[in-house]
């Protein structure tokens, strides 16, 4: 089995999932807070929003691990 190819395919899949999870996250107050329209209430993440947030962190750690593995295999 060609490990380099397997890791490259896994990296592509993880990056695609990471992009999707980042784009699905809610934007929050954004630029509205700059002009005084921000909401000063602290809100915790719950339900699907929390799952997407934790998934994006996990996918970024997995991508970092795959990138390091790819680098070490090439040497």
| CA dist list (Å): 57 to 1, 5, 18, 28, 31 | 29, 24, 9, 18, 24
Residue 18 inside a domain? The answer is yes
User: Residues 25, 31, 35, CA angle at the centre, nearest 5°?
Assistant: 150
Number of domain units in the chain: 1
Angle between helices 48-74 and 3-24 (to 10 degrees): 150
Residue 35 inside a domain? The answer is no
Tens digit of each residue's pLDDT (9 = 90 or more) over 38-74: 555 666 777 888 899 999 999 999 999 999 999 999 8
CA distance 10 to 63: 9
Residue 2 inside a domain? The answer is yes
Query: What's the confidence (pLDDT) of residue 61?
Result: 97
Query: What's the confidence (pLDDT) of residue 33?
Result: 54
């Amino acid at each position: 089995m060609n490990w380099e190819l397997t890791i490259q395919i896994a990296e592509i899949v993880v990056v695609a999932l990471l992009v999707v999870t980042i784009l699905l996250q809610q934007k929050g107050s954004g630029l509205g807070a700059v002009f005084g329209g921000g909401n000063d209430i602290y809100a915790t993440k719950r339900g699907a929003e929390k799952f997407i947030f934790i998934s994006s962190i996990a996918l970024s750690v997995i991508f970092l691990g795959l990138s390091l593995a790819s680098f070490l295999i090439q040497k």
